[in-house]
């Protein structure tokens, strides 16, 4: 990795890792800060009197106190679309693993149980095909659209929600009640915080597979845990946590 483009613009200081109590000191004299997975707000930005720009090397910028930055006239930018293909791929991989039960069948073979069973089959856990199933996408941005294309290619009927109704999207209640697979692709905001909880899970009449690849806190994690333990979900794929 090279930082030459930054170095051509001026004095550049690079830190491999920054702990929370180190942030304020390290950005204190900076004009521009480029960061990833570092939380910044009034508590560590208040003394950064020269700061003009925060560059988040990711799509989500929920680690930045945007309102405080507005008051201080500090510009904030992110990298739109940098991970769309990879997150869509991970989403599809998790879905296929969960509906095909690949880890269980792999273990059944590697453990020797398949050979010892003397039966050329394994009927549980039940494997089901995606063709003809309904895949619900919560959040139809770059990643959601990419997942939609994959789901369609696998033979799924795709339904989705989005912030502004486009004549084709459905409301969350409809999506939850109709979907066999639900994948979540929304930013973490006040509106999306714990948007999937017990009330919403009770609407899932098909015992769906749920995949959260956005932000951990868009779901009530305790409610998801209870739902998978109680058998109200067929599978749960988690790529993100509220505390990581």
3-state DSSP of 30-70:
CCEEEECCCCECHHHHCCCCCCCEEEECCCCCCCECHHHHH
pLDDT of residue 184: 97
**Hey, which residues does 55 pair with through a beta bridge?**
34, 77
pLDDT of residue 156: 97
Burial of 32 (0-12, 13-18, 19+ CB in 10 A): middle
> 188, 214 in Cβ contact below 8 A?
yes
Which secondary-structure segment (H or E) carries 76? Answer: strand 75-77
CA 183 to chain centre: 9
pLDDT of residue 243: 84
Q: What is the mean pLDDT of each run of 10 residues along the chain (244 residues)?
A: 87 92 94 93 94 91 92 93 91 96 88 82 82 97 95 97 82 96 94 96 96 95 96 94 85
Alpha helices in the chain (DSSP H): 4-7, 23-27, 42-45, 66-72, 84-100, 102-110, 113-117, 142-153, 172-178, 198-201, 221-229
CB atoms within 10 A of CB 30: 16
pLDDT of residue 209: 97
Residue 22: C-alpha distances to residues 69, 102, 136 (Å): 20, 43, 42
């Amino acid at each position: 990795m090279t930082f030459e483009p930054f170095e051509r613009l001026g004095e550049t200081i690079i830190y491999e890792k920054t702990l929370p109590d180190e942030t304020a000191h390290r950005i204190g004299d900076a004009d521009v800060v480029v960061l990833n997975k570092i939380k910044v707000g009034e508590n560590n930005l208040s003394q950064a009197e020269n700061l003009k720009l925060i560059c988040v090397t990711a799509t989500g910028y929920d680690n930045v106190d945007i309102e405080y930055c507005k008051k201080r006239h500090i510009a904030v930018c992110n990298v739109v679309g940098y991970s769309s293909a990879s997150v869509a791929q991970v989403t599809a991989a998790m879905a296929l693993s969960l509906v095909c039960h690949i880890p269980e069948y792999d273990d059944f073979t590697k453990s020797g149980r398949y050979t010892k069973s003397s039966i050329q089959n394994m009927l549980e856990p039940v494997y089901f095909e995606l063709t003809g199933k309904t895949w619900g996408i919560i959040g139809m941005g770059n990643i959601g659209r990419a997942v939609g294309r994959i789901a369609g290619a696998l033979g799924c009927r795709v339904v989705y929600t989005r912030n502004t109704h486009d004549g084709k999207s459905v409301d969350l209640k409809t999506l939850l009640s109709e979907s066999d697979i639900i994948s979540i692709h929304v930013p973490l905001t006040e509106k999306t915080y714990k948007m999937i909880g017990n009330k919403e899970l009770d609407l899932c009449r098909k015992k769906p597979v749920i995949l959260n690849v956005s932000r951990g806190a868009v779901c009530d994690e305790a409610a998801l845990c209870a739902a998978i333990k109680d058998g109200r979900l067929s599978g749960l794929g988690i790529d993100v946590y509220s505390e990581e």
